[in-house]
Amino acid sequence: MADTFTEKGDRFIVCTGCSGGADLAKALIGRVAVETTDCMNVCDKPISLAVRATGKAAYLFTGVDPDAPEDIEAFAKLYAASPDGQIMDARPAGNLRFCLVGRIPA
pLDDT digits (tens, 9 = 90+) for 55-74: 999 999 999 999 999 999 99
pLDDT tens per residue across span 13-46: 999 999 999 999 999 998 899 999 999 999 999 9
Domain boundaries, the chain: 2-104
The per-residue pLDDT for 5 is 52
Q: Residues with Cβ < 8 Å from 95, sequence gap 6 or more?
A: 65, 68, 71
- The pLDDT of residue 10 is above 60: yes
Q: Bin 19: left if φ > 0, else alpha if -120 < ψ < 50, else beta.
A: beta
Q: Which CATH number fits domain 2-104: 3.30.70.120, 3.40.50.300, 3.30.360.10, 3.40.30.10?
A: 3.40.30.10
How does pLDDT run across 44-56, given as a tens digit for each residue? Answer: 999 999 999 999 9
